[in-house]
Chain A
Amino acid sequence: MLKKNIIKQLSIFVNNEPGSLASIALVLKECGINLKAFNIAESSGFGVLRAIADDPEGACRVLRERNIVVKQTDVIAVSVEDQPGGLFRIANIMGDAKINIEYAYAYTGRNGPSIFLRVDDPEAAAAAVKRAGMVCLSQKDI
């Protein structure tokens, strides 16, 4: 089963106002939610905080209780030896497999550096990564 290669990312809506991100960080801290990796995308007026947490299900629940707009998004994490070359290799693999990368961000954990990828078909992407001889991390590897 390829399902184990899917990682649940938290996508959190952030008002683009001074202090918004800080207040979300405070809520995460109060609820004991530990972020392994995160990335922020901004547009005029709002932003999206994309984060990988230990317990995405639990984190989602407590954030919703605090009225924070949050969504779980399927991403994959690919282990790479070095990040710049690794990203180039992954981009080529996805290109060959005709899979579109929405966005990507890097992270270094206990299993070395890896890259998180949001793609239109995560399962096909994970299969393509494996065929190319690279390794997808599972939730417990993060």
Chain B
Amino acid sequence: MFWNPDAECKPIEDLKKAQYRSLKTLIMRLYEFNDFYRNKMKAAGVRPDDITCLEDISKLPFMTKSDLRDNYPTKMFSIPTKDVVRYHVSSGTTGKPTLVGYNRHDLDYWTESLARAMTSVGITSDDTVQVSYGYGLFTGGLGLHYGAERIGASVLPSSTGNTERQIELMIDLGVTVIACTPSYLIHMGDVAERMGVDFRRDTCLRKALLGAEPWTEGMRAQIENGLGIDAYDIYGTSELAGPMFTECAERNGLHIWGDIAYIEVVDPETHEVLGPGQRGELVITMLNKETFPLVRYMIKDVTAILDEKCACGRTSPRIERISGRTDDMLIIRGINVFPSQIEHVLLMNPSVNGHYQIIVDRVNSLDVMTLQAEINPEAFSDKMEDVVAIKRRIENDMKKYLNVSVKVELKESGSLPRFEGKARRVTDRRKY
């Protein structure tokens, strides 16, 4: 079943022609109207005339997260802010957030992308979809919400938290599809078991769209066998729009709709464009984005392009499941955190000296981050509650600025490892 068969099954040659037309139009428009992008092209010595075929995209400069951060909040926008209809915000790498904006058109292709994706895994207007991603500044909740509404499904916007209530609602409303992080669904399964609820017997759940954090085929098997459902991978980041792309029912890579995005995979070191099947860093160009440019964006996720024809009949290229990051970003319960952000927040506190270690574990299917920090001798007190207050303050700051729950352990100064050259401050003990 297809949501938009003309777009999804367009012959590959026609799709490539359409991609070239979109790219050319996009670059001409950006060169004319977007100061940020014109300056970037000038610095790279490229003009719109240099783009004469789809492959010429490799002449264009890369964009990175720092482009978004440096132009915070709206300096790289192509449209007046009065035409923006939605903002989403994610925390940036060094304290400054990353802000993304959408006009009506941007929201439309985001929703269209998810309508196609949901249809491709067999979700229809007969389904009831529980969206257990966070609603708010994070793109997950609202993105899936409008996607599911567009195909006419009934939407339960349960957001995150209060797992028992979520399970009760799932039973009472006959929820058939859930969208959340894979670790949250495993956690839900554990809580259900304690409540005496059997997913197979007591719920109508049959499918799950799982993403926002890395997971593996092993976790898929655990979820599917444990809960008696089919689980599908979903992918996207706020820079693109939000979660946008999923596997189809064939489960052989994620379809990246060619009329919406153009994908390349490059060597992380040399930035040379790699061929299909070769693993490297994903680079995405959003062909129809109007609010701000996203051209050859280095998303830092590791994958490979699968270009052989999919058995489902869709012609868009696919990417294999994301297998890692080319930077040190951590994903804690679906929230992206960089060690540099943790360091930035930690250094606001004069009671610690700035040496730290991060340890990430998975306890009862949920991520637990422990931050070990050295207490400053001057801040130390013989009174227990003074020292406990230092720990609490750091924990509260992490929650306030980064939206992550961190368990702080204070250490005596000099007890944590020192590094010459590249620091290795993160120990990720999670097994996927």
Contacts and interface: CB of A to CB of B under 8 A. Distances in A.
A14 B383 CA distance: 13
Interface in B360-390: 375, 377, 380-384, 387-388
Contact of B387 (A48, A68, A70, A103): A48
A100 to B, nearest CB: 11
Given A13-B375, A45-B391, A67 B413 contact: yes
A48 B408 CA distance: 17
B411 interface: yes
Contacts of B380: 11, 13, 69, 71
Interface in A28-68: 41, 43, 45-46, 48, 50, 64, 67-68
A96 interface: no
A47 to B, nearest CB: 9
A50 B382 contact: yes
Given A15-B415, A43-B387, A48-B387, A71 B410 contact: no
B412 A48 contact: no
B409 interface: yes
A13 B353 CA distance: 15
Given A67-B413, A69-B412, A48 B377 contact: no
A46 B381 contact: no
A81 interface: no
A9 interface: yes
Contacts of A15: 411-412, 415
Tier of interface size on chain B: 10 to 19
Contacts of B388: 43
A82 interface: no
- Among B375, B384, B391, B408: residue with most chain A CB under 10 A: B384
A67 B412 CA distance: 8
A103 B384 CA distance: 10
Contact of B382 (A16, A43, A45, A73): A73
Contacts of A118: 382-383
Interface in B400-419: 408-415
Given A15-B415, A43-B388, A46-B387, A71 B381 contact: yes
A46 B382 contact: no
Contacts of A141: none
A102 B391 contact: no
A103 to B, nearest CB: 8
Interface in A1-27: 9, 11, 13-16
Interface residues of A, number: 22
Given A13-B375, A69-B375, A71-B377, A43 B415 contact: no
Nearest to B376: A69
Nearest to B374: A69
A80 to B, nearest CB: 22
A21 to B, nearest CB: 12
Contacts of B409: 16, 45-46
A43 B392 CA distance: 13
Contacts of A64: 377
A128 B97 CA distance: 57
Given A69-B375, A69-B377, A71-B377, A43 B384 contact: yes
Given A13-B380, A118-B382, A46 B414 contact: no
A73 B381 CA distance: 9
A28 to B, nearest CB: 15
Contacts of B382: 9, 11, 48, 50, 71, 73, 118
Contacts of A102: 383
Interface string A106-122: 00000000000010000
Contacts of B408: 45
Nearest to A14: B412
A13 B352 CA distance: 13
Contacts of B410: 13, 45-46
- Among A16, A45, A48, A68: residue with most chain B CB under 10 A: A45
A75 to B, nearest CB: 9
A130 to B, nearest CB: 24
A26 to B, nearest CB: 15
A41 to B, nearest CB: 5
Contacts of B387: 13, 43, 46, 48
B381 A69 contact: no
Contacts of A69: 375, 377, 380, 412-413
Interface in A93-142: 102-103, 118
A48 B340 CA distance: 31
Nearest to B382: A11
Nearest first, the 10 closest Cβ-Cβ pairs linking A and B are: A11-B382, A67-B414, A45-B409, A73-B382, A69-B412, A69-B377, A13-B412, A69-B380, A46-B410, A41-B384
7 contacts: A13-B412, A14-B412, A15-B411, A41-B384, A45-B391, A103-B383, A118-B383
Given A43-B384, A69-B380, 18 more contacts: A13-B380, A13-B410, A15-B411, A15-B412, A15-B415, A16-B409, A45-B391, A48-B382, A69-B375, A69-B377, A69-B412, A69-B413, A71-B377, A71-B380, A71-B381, A73-B382, A118-B382, A118-B383
